Amino acid sequence: MIIKLKNKDTLICDDFQFKCSIGKNGLKKKKLEGDNSTPAGTFSLGPVYYRKDRLDKPNTKLKIFRISKQMGWCDDPNNVNYNKEIKLNKKIKAEKLHRKDKIYDIIIVINYNTRRIIRNKGSAIFIHVTNNYKPTKGCIGLSLNDIKILLKIIKKNSKIKIS
């Protein structure tokens, strides 16, 4: 199953069309860390992370992890854990996954630059919650309800085509 981004504001999966937002600077084939663009290409999906204190366990075939207060995602290109989940540490630059705002209440990892990681190529590319569809820093934003629907219909081998 392929999830497709169409017209930069619509995500299509099966018969469903979801309104979405993408990076402030649009799509880029040669994404760089901090460029506020969403990477173009076809990618597999990684695990789902969610806030147990705010949501029930998602109904999905993807691997699921609960977000703890100590969880982060390393976005420091000079760190050995670049573009990986980490335990937060003041010495390591990272996206905090346990946030006050609700955008990371549930996230789906997009496997961009996660296999053979290349420094400065970009990190922490997720499908996450949006309430206002404002541009992201490079992720894809969907409403919470739409993420829940998407999680129910995608399969373990589903891919996302961003073009």
Write down the residue that tokens 């976005």 correspond to: 75
**Whole-prediction pTM:** 0.96
111 assigned to some structural domain: yes
163 assigned to some structural domain: no
97 assigned to some structural domain: yes
**Residue 90 predicted with pLDDT over 90:** no
- CA atoms of 78 and 69, how far apart (whole Å): 24
**Residue 52 predicted with pLDDT over 90:** yes
27 assigned to some structural domain: yes
Model pLDDT for residues 98-119, shown as the tens digit of each residue: 999 999 999 999 999 999 999 9
| The pLDDT value given to residue 153 | 95
The token duo for 54 is 């705010």
Total domain count for the chain?
1
Write down the residue that tokens 């590319």 correspond to: 125
**16-33 average pLDDT score:** 97
Q: What domain range includes position 55?
A: 2-158
